[in-house]
Structure 1
Amino acid sequence: MKSNDWLHGFRHSSPYINAHRGRTVVLTIPGDAIEHGNFINIIHDIALLSSLGVRLVVAFGARPQIQARLDGAGVESSFAKGLRITPQEHLGMVMEAIGGLRAYLESHLSMGLVNSPMHNARIRVSGGNYVAAKPVGVLDGIDFGHTGKVRRVDVAGIEKLLELGHIVLLPPMGYSPTGDAFNLSYEDVGSQVAAALQAEKLMVFIDDPGLQEEDGSLIRELSARQASERLASGAVTGHDADLLRAACDACVKGVRRAHIISYVDDGALLKELFTRDGAGTLVSGDHYEQFRQARVEDIGGILELIQPLEEQGILVRRSREMLETEIDRFVVAERDGTIVGCAALYSYPEEGAGELSCFAVDPNYRRAGRGDEILAMVEKLARGQGIQKLFVLTTQTEHWFRERGFQPSTVQALPGPKLASYNTQRNSKVFFKPL
């Protein structure tokens, strides 16, 4: 790192610092992460987030610690449907393992050594019976004993602690009105608590950089709908499926964004929160990225997007003045306040035709379906205006349009006004698509 690289990054993180201050973020940390060598750095990052005014809830798991406790007692543990079966005789050892891990986390969050990032942090950690649970019961003839699932979250109680600036620590345990204790899935606790609090974010830690494709490449982002489709198709299996299901469920219930990040990668939590593209896999609701009608305040972003394509001769040049008069013809894709895609629709009502024009997607955000989303929005607008066919002039993206139903045509097939202004020097190819 150059001597001033940190300064550039720090300055550019300020919008994200402002955006997250006072927001509720739920961290879902597995027991494997707590045993990993990078966990001390996660503790430091949690302390930093708390210092920046982020309201934090930490839901932690204890599966390896519970297993070690049972193994130490010479007790065999069994699983079904991805859950540990917890008979009455195992419950005491499960509670011992979870209680010990909770004390371990509290001690690490209490550090304040002069030569450490925790100096003067003065973090207050609180927990309690904020999660009511119910038994899983008997499934397919299997009695899960004291294995349970979340029944209710004490939102008011947690909110009071967050208002006081406390980090709320939630173990994978829940309690019933009958006084029974239940061993819970930590990802279920994290997801349900995030949804109940209407948290801004749910952060889910795994050992990989995020969810991966079959070829090992990182899946950068999924909508809640796309995540559900992957789960239904069996494209994601095992514990990754449980985590993705928890993230998707939280988004469906009102959590704005869920992030699946690595507990192995030093600084992954900060990268995900304080940089535009993050470090892992984002599962988003409807508000993270918007496809909408353009507004006057979008003109600067549109110009920045299309200027490189104009310089390459891919798009016809448009002045700011032209955009100001035609902005109501444009639709945009907005990601975190940045315009990453746009298109315009010009209507020729006498011929029942519409032109798809100024179609652009930021190179850094291609191959994620944005072009298809923009095209779908333009087609919907065209149908609403009574347009029966859509045409496009292109010099370099012929195959993309052909793959989406556009058919080659001739220049003479263009509507009269468009034919009169056709630039023969550009020699653009003409494609039509019936709507």
Structure 2
Amino acid sequence: MNTGDQNYVKWFRNAAPYINAHRGKTVVLMFGGEAVSHPNFANIIHDISLLRSLGVKLVVVHGARPQIENSIKQRGIKRNIENNVRVTDAETLVAVKDATGSLRLHIEALLSTGLANSPMHGSQIRVSTGNFVIAKPMGVREGIDYKYTGSVRRIDSDGINMQLDYGSIVLLSPIGYSPTGEVFNLALEDVATQTAIALKADKLIALTDDEGLIDQSGKLIRSCSVRTVKTLLDEKDCHVRQLLLRSIIQCGENGVERCHCVSYQSDTALLQELFTRDGAGTLIAKDHKEELSTATIDDVAGILELIQPLEEEGVLVKRSRELLEVEIDRFTVLKKEDVIIACVALYPYAEANTGEIACVVIHPDYRKGNRGERLMAAVEENAKKQGFDSVFVLTTVSGHWFLEQGFTEQPIEKLPEGKKQMYNFQRKSKIYVKNLR
């Protein structure tokens, strides 16, 4: 087997846990008309097909802003934008329906491709469209009648779920229908957001022209909370970016656990984001009432109280208050209503480009849920920021849990020299290592 094949097999094995984690999950995937026009869109279609074949329940929501603009221009219709919102009169609505309908048919055709020697050969994907989006008019606002421009009134979640259970991909356009038989021009972001919330989707994925969310310094944000997204809102931003950020915030505040932003210009970003450890874009997790933060000197008493029972049992090595005060900046704590319910520490071994994870403690009343996983994600992110290639942990009782988190048991020789010299042979702690790159 050549090196390329070996790397592929290794990647495939590493991707298996992520494939299993996404199987049966409901994902809303949104992209604008710009993505459809991009040369990479064929690869996105192939990836959508692959996601469906891996058991992901997919709702695809497309936009059509550039196509609508072109349709209006071709018809010689005067463009009417008020407060960054298109006023859709009867003549404009014809252009909207034409552009949106043509684009929907184009996407359906691409999803139906099954030519031999193509990535979608044998996929046999069913695409379901329909009147799943019930709309209402925006009405008159500040003296402006927006006519056939509307907003989502309700999503037919039962109808969509029925199609998803049949194994179909549900394709939604930025068009809605009223009970009176009228058609309304809707915003892509409104349709995607309300669909994700109504379906209680596990994820919302937004394909954008950037790598993901960009901070004020121009750098890609790898992961953040909904709270952080709120700080990115800027009135100077373009209207589309504002809509995207508000969509993420609304989803996160209404039960959608994860949102992702990845580039539609990359032919690997979507799969890389979902099936690799580091991803390719931005992962946004919904805010929890319990807050993770770097410990401060004010947290010393709370940490001591948390770890004392395990020290008395001999599970943890005892730490004095004085030592803890010196090392406090090594700790990350999880607080609920200002009470510390969990903690973890990271000790650097820069000479070996690694770090030791220590003092992983969760209060007995809070050991259900994913708090341990949240702690590990935070400490691993911290280790990556410090440039470490790996982390390790010594434990006498929690080996199986660390194996579940992706660690592997290693001999004492794998410890950095500084830690090896301090190893306590009487405790006989087992060593577990996790590579971060």
* TM-score of the superposed pair, with normalisation by structure 2: 0.70
Matching residue of 1:156: 158
Q: Shift of residue 230 of structure 1?
A: 2.7
Q: Is the 8 A contact 1:288 1:335 kept in 2?
A: no
Aligned residue runs from structure 1 range 20-419, under 5 A? 20-231=22-233, 234=235, 236-286=237-287, 291=292, 306=346, 309=349, 339-341=376-378, 362-365=382-385
Q: CA deviation at 1:334?
A: 6.0
Change (3 A) 1:245 1:366: farther
* Cα 1:206–1:288 shift into 2, 3 Å: farther
Following TM superposition, by how much is the alpha carbon of 1:305 offset from its aligned partner in structure 2, in angstroms? Answer: 7.6
Mapped partners of 1:215, 1:3: distance in 2: 39
Q: Secondary structure at the residue paired with 2:69?
A: helix
The answer to whether the 8 A contact 2:127-2:168 is kept is: yes
- Name the CA shift for 1:362/1:115 in 2 (closer, same or farther; >3 Å): same
Return the alpha-carbon distance in structure 1 between the equivalents of residues 268 and 371 of structure 2: 27
- 2:286 and 2:60 map into 1 onto residues whose CA distance is 22
- Secondary structure of 1:112's match? coil
State the shift of 1:137 in Å: 1.2
Q: Give the Cα–Cα distance (whole angstroms) in 1 for the partners of residues 95 and 273 of structure 2.
A: 36
- Pair 1:219–1:317, CA change in 2 (3 A): closer
What TM-score, normalized to structure 1? Answer: 0.70
Segments of 5+ residues of structure 1 without an aligned counterpart are 343-359, 368-435
Change (3 A) 1:230 1:97: same
Q: 1:62 to 1:221 in 2, by over 3 A?
A: same
Uncovered stretches (5+) of structure 2, i.e. residues with no partner: 294-305, 317-331, 333-343, 388-437
Q: Deviations over 1:221-260 (max 9, x none)?
A: 22112212332x5475432121011011011111111111
Alignment-derived partner of residue 429 in structure 1: none
Aligned to 1:117, the other structure's residue is in SS state coil
Identical-residue share of aligned pairs (%): 44
CA distance in 1, matches of 2:44, 2:63: 15
Query: What is the DSSP-based 3-state SS (H/G/I as helix, E as strand, rest coil) of the residue aligned with 1:129?
Result: coil
Structure 1 residues 223 and 317: CA distance shift in structure 2, 3 A: closer
The one-letter code sitting in structure 1 at the alignment partner of 2:178 is: S
> What is the count of residue pairs matched by the alignment?
340
Q: Which stretch shifts more, 47-56 or 72-81?
A: 72-81
Please give the alpha-carbon distance, in whole angstroms, between the structure 2 residues aligned to 1:328 and 1:214. 37
Q: How far is 1:87 from its partner?
A: 0.5
SS in 1 for 2:28: strand
- 8 Å Cα contact 1:203-1:259 kept in structure 2: yes
Q: CA RMSD in A?
A: 3.6
Aligned partner of residue 13 in structure 1, secondary structure: helix
Amino acid at match of 2:34: D
1:40 Cα deviation from its structure 2 partner? 0.1
SS of 2:284's partner is: strand
Letter in 1 for 2:279: G
Structure 1 110/223 Cα, relative in aligned 2: closer, same or farther at 3 Å? same
Contact 1:305–1:339 (CA under 8 A) maintained in structure 2? no
In the alignment, the residues of structure 2 paired with residue 190 and residue 220 of structure 1 have an alpha-carbon distance, to the nearest angstrom, of: 22
| Residue aligned with 1:271, SS | helix
- Measured after TM superposition, the shift of residue 6 of structure 1 is 1.6
